[in-house]
């Protein structure tokens, strides 16, 4: 693979992972509340933080699956 091709693949993978996090975390109802509370010194309720944490866990898991698939596909070329 050429360096340009590797860079394009990495950028596409990054975009796909960004989309996963956007879909899993930013779509949660707790996300805007946590954003609004940031810097205010007031913590969001624990339940909302737990929802955000689970969203991060799910997004991380899906991102790792995408990365593993990408690595596997590179090995099959």
Q: Which domain holds residue 15?
A: 3-75
Secondary structure (3-state) at 39: coil
List the Cα angle 74/77/72 in 5-degree steps.
35
What does residue 62 show for φ and ψ, rounded to 5 degrees? Answer: -65, -35
- Rounded average pLDDT per 10-residue block, the chain, 77 residues: 65 86 85 79 81 91 91 81
Rounded to two decimals, the pTM is 0.71
Q: Which stretches of the chain are DSSP H helices? A: 3-21, 30-37, 46-75
CA gap 13, 28 in Å, rounded? 23
Report the domain count for the chain: 1
């Amino acid at each position: 693979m050429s360096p340009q091709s590797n860079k394009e693949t990495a950028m596409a993978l990054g975009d796909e992972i960004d989309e996963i996090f956007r879909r899993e975390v930013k779509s949660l109802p707790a996300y805007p509340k946590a954003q609004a509370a940031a810097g205010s010194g007031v913590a969001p309720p624990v339940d909302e933080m737990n929802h955000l944490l689970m969203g991060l866990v799910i997004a991380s898991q899906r991102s790792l699956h995408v990365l593993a698939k990408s690595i596997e596909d590179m090995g099959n070329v």
